[in-house]
């Protein structure tokens, strides 16, 4: 299995590790761009936050260069993402102790930012309620209600027809 990961790394970096853009730098750049756009900030704003030129950030986002470890840590902090967010999953899933998806990790990260235990308890209760939400059950309930309404409508129509006939005969 370790060789599979090493083979994938070579595949992503190409024959020459200094060749850019490559699959790895393109992936990382796309993740950085996506996170930046999620926050609704421009390249200029992010470049100022990470103490880089906008052109440097543009090169990183386009896969023409890759950030060093320090810059990546600052990017992760500025973009409110974990370091693993910027790497293809196969690179860290064997090392990671907990199997969390990117969304699960993001939920935990945002949870830690919630102010006060009371608000955290409220958030947990909301998540618990969402976890119990079953859209299929709601759909079946809606179908049952619709069938019942159609049956009542048919009964009412039948009743009205009978009454109409009675009143004509009188």
Question: With a threshold of 0.75, does the pTM exceed it?
Answer: no
If one compares 16 and 114, the residue with the highest pLDDT of the two is 114
CATH number at residue 28: 1.10.260.40
Residue 15 φ/ψ region, left for φ over 0, alpha for ψ in the -120 to 50 degree band, beta for the rest: alpha
Q: Are residues 7 and 87 in the same domain?
A: yes
pLDDT of residue 15: 57
Rounded distance between C-alpha atoms, residue 152 and residue 146, angstroms = 10
CA angle 38, 43, 48 (to 5 degrees): 110
Average pLDDT over residues 82-91: 81
Residue 69 forms part of a structural domain: yes
Q: Are residues 24 and 79 in the same domain?
A: yes
C-beta separation of 33 from 61 below 8 A: yes
Tens digit of each residue's pLDDT (9 = 90 or more) over 32-52: 999 999 999 999 999 999 999
How many domains are there within the chain?
Answer: 2
Average pLDDT over residues 139-144: 76
Q: Are residues 90 and 138 in the same domain?
A: no
The residue segments making up the domain with residue 144 are: 134-169
């Amino acid at each position: 299995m370790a060789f599979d990961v090493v083979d994938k790394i070579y595949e992503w970096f190409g024959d020459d590790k200094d060749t850019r853009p490559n699959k790895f730098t393109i992936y990382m750049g796309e993740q950085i761009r996506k996170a930046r756009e999620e926050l609704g900030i421009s390249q200029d704003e992010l470049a100022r936050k990470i103490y880089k030129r906008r052109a440097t950030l543009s090169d990183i986002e386009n896969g023409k260069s890759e950030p060093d470890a320090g810059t990546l840590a600052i990017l992760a902090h500025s973009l409110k993402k974990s370091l693993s967010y910027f790497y293809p999953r196969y690179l860290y899933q064997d090392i990671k102790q907990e199997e969390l998806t990117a969304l699960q990790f993001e939920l935990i990260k945002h949870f830690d930012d919630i102010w006060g235990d009371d608000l955290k308890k409220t958030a947990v209760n909301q998540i618990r309620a969402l976890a119990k939400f079953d859209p299929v059950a709601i759909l079946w309930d809606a179908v049952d209600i619709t069938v019942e309404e159609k049956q009542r409508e048919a009964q009412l129509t039948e009743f009205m027809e009978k009454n109409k006939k009675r009143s004509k005969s009188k």
